[in-house]
Amino acid sequence: MALIPHNTLVVVADGRGALLLRNTGKPANITLRQERKLEPVNLENDGPSGSRPEDQTASQTDEATFAKQLTNTLNKMKLDGEFDQLVLVADPQTLGQIRPILHKTVEASLIRSLAKDLTNHPLDQIAEAIAA
């Protein structure tokens, strides 16, 4: 069983949105509270420059753009001192897009990552998954 310290930021994401949760419970008794929900914004202007690769759909480009937006949010939150520890839960594709572009201070705060899509699951099921 993984211990998730009190006040740890828990991010549950996929390519279409993210939940920012906080562990308000004890390390061995996780209680998650939602702080905010992030959704993609300004996808037309915030995506990669140049033309989209032929083998990539518009949906895939939008998901990659959101992963970049989420990473920028996490980087800013860390630099602003909004969290010390981080748990990152995302579908494998989104996790693979996020990890390489995390700021090194955010990466150093990462205490657990889980390659699962749990964005539409209840908070108690998310807590169970990250504690397992």
| pLDDT tier at 43, thresholds 50, 70, 90 | low
Q: What is the pLDDT of residue 65?
A: 84
pTM over the 0.75 mark: yes
Residue length, the chain?
132
Copy the structure tokens of residue 129.
Answer: 């998954």
Domain 9-43+59-131 homologous superfamily, CATH: eRF1 domain 2 (3.30.420.60)
H, E, C per residue of 51-110: CCCCCCCHHHHHHHHHHHHHHHHHHHHHHCCCCCCEEEEECHHHHHHHHHHCCHHHHHHE
Pick the closest to residue 85 from 3, 11, 8 (CA basis): 8
- Cβ–Cβ under 8 Å, residues 57 and 51: no
Copy the structure tokens of residue 25.
Answer: 């419970």
Q: Which residue has the higher pLDDT, 83 or 55?
A: 83
Q: What is the pLDDT of residue 63?
A: 82
Pick the closest to residue 74 from 66, 83, 65 (CA basis): 83
